[in-house]
Amino acid sequence: MISRELLRHIVIQQKARIEKPGDFIERTLFGRIMAAMDDDRILILSGIRRCGKSTLLQAIKNSRPGCCYANFEDERLLSFRAEDFFMLDEILHEVYGTCSTYFFDEIQNVEKFETFVRRLQDDGKKVILTGSNAALLSREFGTRLTGRYKLFEVYPFSFPEYLLFRKIRPAENAPYLTEEKAVLVREFRQYIGNGGMPEYLKNNDPDYLRTLYENILYRDIIARFSIRRQRLVRELVGILASTITLPFTYNSLKKTLGLTNAITVKEYISYLSGAYLYFELARFDYSVKKQLGAPRKIYCIDNAMSTLAGVSITPDKGRLLENIVYIELRRRGQEIFYFSQERECDFILRDARRITAALQVCWEVGQENRKREIEGLLGAMVEFDLADGTILTFDQEDELHVEGKKIILLPVWKWLVTGNTP
């Protein structure tokens, strides 16, 4: 049990830190979060470490009276237990005054936290939580607070947010103006390599990113799940980082790693996904059984992290472009698959029970790949009776008509800035 004096000292220090003035890049998610502040649900902001969740909390806190805050990532709270929540509540009222809105960072570090959170909600308080492990949060809330919370996934900066960070506010017609377009293309080229992790963009220090990456691997995966074979996890991560956007099977990774059981690989990848580091993309099939048995593709939360962890010295720029598109589709809440028959289509989007769009991604469409890219997209369009499809490239723009179908070539940077969903 933690002492009252230490807990009060921590709360006062954290209050000073959260109220410290600083630059705030307005996130696209901010408006959606604020729209949900007046209902009675618990709000959860979940995402990879250091992607900006705490900064979002600060912005929300500054917009509302009667807020209080506690961060359970503080190492001095390692001895904090569920029975200490009553004492914490008293101290929060002492330090902040009347508390009607509670902000808790990384609360999943405390076992049985959901009981206290539910009591606050029953008392009419607004509760906003952050967490960096999707599996732990969903497990606890799924069993005890079903239907009483709303989840927001927070990602590293999108390209429009990256532009705001760079103090660039493009006009609505910027993609059509020569000088403004040149700025967007230049900045997007940097974004492809630098990614969108806020602190890394501020200091441009690879050591910071490397340390963050190591912390995620060790604290959120190896230590949390008591994995003894650390080397195996690191080898798996190196393979995944070097093969982003490419198909894989658990059996193929099992053989590469010299394991006897593919279930171990599946579990480790689920841990990586729960920590928002890597994501699997399933191949679409009308048969759920065939879909589960088909090869999957792997994507990374951030291009700079993927490049750092991979073994390739010069990462494929086309695959980095595809990785950006995948993360953006997740950010927009799309249900995503890839499609493969004779040719492959990178992404198809499903709305309820219907496929609504097909997208292909490549650096550029040229003589060498034109047939492959168009046929892959066309195969999906025919299969799902789509009148048009999209090929996203680095900087090509065109409109093609093939076999009675319309194919739009569009620069990824323009797709990101305009926010259009094919």
Q: Specify burial of residue 400 (Cβ count, 10 A radius: 0-12, 13-18, 19+).
A: middle
Tell me what pLDDT residue 22 has: 74
Contacts (Cβ under 8 Å, ≥6 apart) of 50:
197, 198, 199, 212
Tell me what pLDDT residue 146 has: 67
Tell me what pLDDT residue 144 has: 66
Tens of pLDDT along 127-183? 999 988 876 556 556 566 667 889 999 999 999 999 999 999 998 888 888 899 999
**415: its two tokens:** 């797709």
Distance separating alpha carbons of residues 87 and 7, to the nearest angstrom:
9
Distance separating alpha carbons of residues 331 and 334, to the nearest angstrom:
8
What is the DSSP track for 235-273?
HHHHHHHHTTTSEE-HHHHHHHHT-S-HHHHHHHHHHHH
Domain spans of the chain, in order of start = 4-153
Do 299 and 305 form a contact (C-beta atoms < 8 A)? no
Which fold would CATH assign to domain 4-153?
Answer: Rossmann fold (3.40.50)
Tell me what pLDDT residue 148 has: 83
- Report the DSSP beta bridge partners of residue 300: 278
- Report the DSSP beta bridge partners of residue 299: 279
Below-70 pLDDT ranges, the chain: 135-146, 311-314, 420-422
Q: Among 303, 386, 396, which residue's Cα sits nearest to residue 349? A: 386
Q: How many CB atoms lie within 10 A of CB 191?
A: 24
Distance separating alpha carbons of residues 104 and 110, to the nearest angstrom:
11
